[in-house]
Amino acid sequence: MALHIAAVGDSHTGKWTALLEGLLNGAGIAAQVCNHGIGGALVGKFSRDYAPEFPYPGSHIPSELLAVVGGGYKDHGKVGAIILQGGANDLGMMGDLLEFEAEYARSPQGVSQQSIDELPHKFNELLLEKIEGALALDPMPQKISEHLLQELSKSLEEMLSVVKGKGIYPVYLNIPPLAEGVGDRAFRLAGNAARQSVDNKLKLYCKQNSILHVDVAAAVSDDEGWLAPAYNSGDGLHLGYAGQQRVAQTIFDALAPKLPKLHDVKT
């Protein structure tokens, strides 16, 4: 019976899933890679609607994850591995967060009431909840984004832990960098720094817990750390077909040595 692999994430979790399946099958490995990526979704939160035992409200991505972990595919059997990729949208508000933090730094009295009133217009509801949580912990935090990055890393780690605890092989896949030319340079630097901060935490966590960490960001970056033009879809955020191929090959190269053990999973 085929090995079933579920890929969970946002819009970055895309065509590479079909390409990975082709590489596996071409190598004589019967495998099915199902794409559970949801464009525009946040990844690093658990939804109380689907998993009330977890303390992360919000995103519907974890409902996909937990459905796969809990019951697998009705028509195909148990899942042997889950590839978790996240989360570009979780980091997407960092430019506005830096502006918000800058006002803290400028004002000894903290953020103005006007700025607080404008928060719902600048941030989506899920991120606003985290900002309000940071304000509750410290009325004048110096780095709200640092607090949020720690929370994001923690929730991604817990998702991987849940997968592993269910006897399913977890794989963490980081997200590509921004391309040169997206926004202004300060925005790009902040975005890539935030991405790297989360990835460093996840890389250490994966090493300590024997979880496969696949660095696709390095595979599609240029010498300066931006998304390489050859892999850019054109919007500076997502991968084109060559980038998707590069990601699929990178995952295959990292995952292939693990496949004999994964085939021992009863499917």
Domains in the chain, start-ordered, CATH in brackets?
3-88+150-262 (3.40.50.1110)
Average pLDDT over residues 123-144: 59
Q: Tell me the sheet residues that pair with 140.
A: none
Angstrom distance (rounded) from CA 66 to CA 168: 12
Average pLDDT over residues 41-45: 67
pLDDT band at 156 (very low <50, low <70, confident <90, very high): confident
pLDDT band at 58 (very low <50, low <70, confident <90, very high): very low
Angstrom distance (rounded) from CA 143 to CA 123: 16
The answer on pLDDT for 195 being more than 80 is: yes
Identity of residue 43 = V
Total residues found in the chain within this entry: 267
Angle at 90 between CA 88 and CA 95, to 5 degrees: 90
Average pLDDT over residues 132-155: 67
Mean of per-residue pLDDT scores for the chain: 76
Angstrom distance (rounded) from CA 90 to CA 194: 10
Angle at 121 between CA 179 and CA 84, to 5 degrees: 45
pLDDT at position 146? 74
Identity of residue 218 = A
Q: For residue 171, give the DSSP letter.
A: E
pLDDT at position 242? 96
Angstrom distance (rounded) from CA 226 to CA 189: 10
User: Which of residues 90 and 256 earns the better pLDDT score?
Assistant: 256
For residue 202, CA distances in Å to 18, 42, 86, 116, 160 come to 25, 17, 11, 32, 10
Helix, coil or strand: residue 83:
strand
Angle at 95 between CA 91 and CA 97, to 5 degrees: 85
Angstrom distance (rounded) from CA 226 to CA 243: 13
The answer on pLDDT for 214 being more than 90 is: yes
Sign of the C-alpha dihedral computed for residues 214, 217, 218 and 219 taken in this order: positive
Phi, psi of 74 (to 5 degrees): -55, -35
Please give the share of the chain, as a percent, with pLDDT higher than 90: 26
The answer on pLDDT for 125 being more than 80 is: no
